[in-house]
Amino acid sequence: MSLKNTFIAIDWGTSHLRAYLCNTYSDKRFELIAQRDGPGVIKGKKTFSQIMEQAIAPWAHEYGTPAVLMAGQITSSIGWIETPYMKCPVNPEKLLSSALKQNSKQYAITALPGAQCVLHNTMLDVMRGEELQILGFLKQNPAYSQGKVLLCLPGTHTKWVLLEDGLIVCFKTAMTGEFYDLLCHQSVLIANDCQGGEFDWQAYEQGCNLTLGSNSGNLAHGIFSVRTRQLSKELDSVQAKAYLSGVLIGSDVRAARYATEWQLVPGSKVVVIGTEQLNRCFATALSHVGVQCDTFSVHTATLSGFNYLHHQQIASQSPL
């Protein structure tokens, strides 16, 4: 295995850095050798260069200094190497065309761009990192590169993304995960000393039903029921967290259902790319409105996207 085939992929978001050491075998096949984590963009006390060095330096003895690819909020205005947003429609296979190169210590970094679109209501929307996950997903599942496909990528922010023939046409952001974290840890809704516990799917579905089923207002005026249902002893605090999750995801799915940018009617299908837990949450909520889901691992999609781009880079450098 030559040094060229080994690469480091850094998915560096607002709250976490995830560094992956990988080998590539083709534009679709790769192997994860090791993973190390670090602080996110807003949590680091050192410089970004130091944080990266600390995360990946232990690999240098055995692997030298492979090429580094970087995506996520680290490439935003609050990050390290600010890259442009590509304007929709975006072909995710072309991400390298708007990437920026920078050296840090001995490492040659490729910082990937984000994507932006203008919605029907003339509002701008933006993403950083999800366009790479979409690329990786499509490379692993090429059947979805044809026709219209609606993707849902849940996380700190949910991204609902409309693809047409493999191009990112437009997308919408919901701050569902960020709301959940804030409300779980810093509001009157959930007690500070609430312990972990098994996720209560029944409470989750009750929360979904509150916001999925109303034609208006059940997010603004219904979310306080997370507290009152504890006062009335219908829920304990662990159940209340699952219920809160349902209230928020239900409102997110309802908004997607009535978005003017796409048709999400009973019988249609959505591709959900997230963690196992979030995939099940969104698939459950979507099933309540008659929508079926195909679910995929966001971890695999991310690595697959980095692998495809690294393979592109070395292919373009190879002597004929």
Which chain residues interact with a copy of itself by CB under 8 A?
A: 14, 77, 121, 123-126, 157, 160, 172-176, 178, 182-183, 186-189, 210, 215-225, 227-229, 231-232, 251-252, 254-256, 258-259
For the beta carbon of residue 49, count every other beta carbon within 10 angstroms: 14
Cα separation, 252 vs 43, in Å, equals: 27
Least CB distance to a copy of itself at residue 174 (A): 5
CB of 208 to a copy of itself, least distance (A): 13
Which of 243, 308 has the CB closer to a copy of itself? 243
CB of 161 vs a copy of itself, minimal distance in Å: 13
Between residues 2 and 192, which has the closer beta carbon with respect to a copy of itself?
192
- For the stretch 261-279, what's the b/e string if a residue is b when 16 or more beta carbons lie within 10 angstroms of its beta carbon? bbebeeebebbbbbeeebb
In terms of CB distance, is 50 or 228 closer to a copy of itself? Answer: 228
Q: Is the Cβ of residue 138 or residue 183 nearer to a copy of itself in the bound state?
A: 183
Q: Minimum CB separation from a copy of itself for residue 215, in Å? A: 7
- In angstroms, rounded to a whole number, what is the distance separating the alpha carbons of residues 52 and 104? 9
**Which residue is associated with the tokens 């949450």?**
281
Question: Which residues are CB-neighbours of 92 under 8 A, at least 6 positions away?
Answer: 131, 132, 134, 135, 138, 166, 168, 305
State in angstroms the smallest separation of the CB of 115 from a copy of itself: 12
Nearer to a copy of itself by Cβ, of 23 and 218: the residue is 218
Interacting residues of 157 by C-beta distance below 8 A, sequence separation 6+: 173, 174, 175, 176, 177, 178
Minimum CB separation of residue 303 from a copy of itself in Å reads 25
Contact 289, 259 (CB under 8 A): no
What distance in Å separates the CA atoms of residue 308 and residue 145, rounded to the nearest whole number? 15
Residue 103 or residue 258: which is nearer to a copy of itself going by CB?
Answer: 258
Nearer to a copy of itself, 218 or 304 (CB): 218
Residue for token pair 């200094």? 65
Q: Measured between alpha carbons, how far is 104 from 46 in angstroms, rounded to an integer? A: 15
Minimum distance between the CB of residue 224 and a copy of itself, rounded to whole angstroms? Answer: 4
